[in-house]
Amino acid sequence: MRLFITGASGHIGSALVPELQAAGHQVTGLARSDAAAAKLAATGAEVRRGDLDDVDLIAKAAADSDGVVHLAYRSDLMHNGDAMGVIAANLKVIHAIGHALENTGKPFVIPGGTLLLAAGGITGRPGTEDDIVETGPLAESENAAIALAERGVRAVVIRLAPVVHSHLDTRGFTPTLIAIARDKGVAGYVGDGANRWPAVHTLDAARLFRLALESAPPGARLHAVAEEGIAFREFAGAIGRNLGVPVASIAPEDAAAHFGFLGMFAGADNPASSTRTRKQLGWEPTHAGLIEDIDDGHYFA
């Protein structure tokens, strides 16, 4: 397939491009900067220059392809705490790509997040692919993409674990929490830290995106989850151990001050299952787990 990818030079995109090329697919990637364009060109991918505001360009690239993966997001808005701005920009791109692919049966894969389930009140048990959150800001992009299945698009959402970890991870939750621990002099967790976060290695997540492009049915919700739920205090403990700083509880009312924009998520209990995803697509994670990956040391080099 000739595939168009936004965010092709980013965290997951950097693993997905070679994964797709190794399987015989041709890749065109959207590149906002000269550095991103050079990085993509070095892989042998075709480069389409533009950013997420260029919705007409994105729609044209989607129409010229056999399938699309939309990975890019407005990271500048996210790190400024403008979550609603991130969602609004994402929806514009989803609608533009959806219109371009309407009635073609072509695959369109976007990432979501298992944290959506915790935000939607699904706690105390592992969330599954069958769990649907009908309303709320975090649900808008997922539901907009899934709705395209009724318009002749093979739309698929891959809910990523909140921790997608590997040597390619430079801006995700793990390096962010490490930076906070360095700055504060303590690796923190909220309350008793018993809340659970799932995790997946970047390379395993990339393989799932490829499998979804190749064979997932329209309207599928899939879970990129290798480890169902790691206690947040264990996560913090690994960070503290490797940084050589104490590990301590942060009172819930102080979470925002300590964790910044992550304060709204750090205390969430979000165990998630990928049982159906594994059976449906034959996906089996094979790479290192989160604590092993942190202890490998690459996050602290």
Q: Is the pLDDT assigned to residue 78 strictly greater than 70?
A: no
Q: What is the pLDDT of residue 219?
A: 98
Tell me what pLDDT residue 81 has. Answer: 62
3-state secondary structure of 21: helix
- The total of other beta-carbon atoms located within 10 Å of residue 58's CB is 25
Residue 69 scores a pLDDT above 90: yes
Per-residue pLDDT at 158 exceeds 80: yes
Q: Bridge partners of 293?
A: none
The pair of structure tokens assigned to 93 is: 């791109």
Q: Helix or strand or coil: residue 188?
A: strand
In the chain, where does the domain assigned CATH 3.90.25.10 lie?
Answer: 170-198+228-300
Closest CA to 111 of 178, 22, 209: 209
pTM for the structure as a whole = 0.95
Rounded percentage of the chain residues whose pLDDT exceeds 90: 90
Distance CA 179, CA 177 (A): 5
Sheet strands (E) in 32-186: 46-49, 67-70, 107-113, 154-160, 163-165
CATH of domain 170-198+228-300: 3.90.25.10
Return left, alpha or beta for 184; rule: phi > 0 is left, psi -120 to 50 is alpha, else beta. alpha
Angle at 104 between CA 92 and CA 216, to 5 degrees: 85
- Write out pLDDT tens, residues 110-143: 999 999 999 999 988 999 999 999 988 889 999 9
Residue whose entry in the numeric block shows the structure tokens 């056999």: 66
What is the overall mean pLDDT for the chain?
Answer: 95
Q: Give the contacts of 118 (CB within 8 A, at least 6 positions apart).
A: 127, 268, 269, 270
Please state the rounded mean pLDDT for residues 260-287: 96
Query: Is residue 77 predicted with pLDDT exceeding 60?
Result: no
In this structure, are strands 220-224 and 154-160 parallel, antiparallel, or unpaired? Answer: parallel
Single-letter amino acid code for the residue at 230: I
Average pLDDT over residues 185-213: 98
Q: Model confidence over 3-46: pLDDT tens digits?
A: 999 999 999 999 999 999 999 999 999 999 999 999 999 999 99
pLDDT band at 85 (very low <50, low <70, confident <90, very high): confident
**Structure confidence at residue 5 (pLDDT):** 98
Model confidence at 185, pLDDT cuts 50, 70, 90, reads very high
> pLDDT value at position 4?
98
The angle at the Cα of 15, spanning 12 to 17, to the nearest 5 degrees, equals 105
Calpha distance 290→227 (Å, rounded): 8
Structure confidence at residue 295 as a pLDDT band (50, 70, 90): very high
Whether the predicted pLDDT of 68 surpasses 80: yes
- Give CATH superfamily name and number for 2-163+199-226: NAD(P)-binding Rossmann-like Domain (3.40.50.720)
Give span(s): CATH 3.40.50.720, the chain: 2-163+199-226
60 pLDDT above the threshold of 80: yes
Residue 87: band (very low, low, confident or very high) from pLDDT cuts 50, 70, 90: confident
Give the pLDDT confidence of 231-273 residue by residue, as tens digits. 999 999 999 999 999 999 999 999 999 999 899 999 999 999 9
For residue 80, the model assigns a pLDDT of: 61
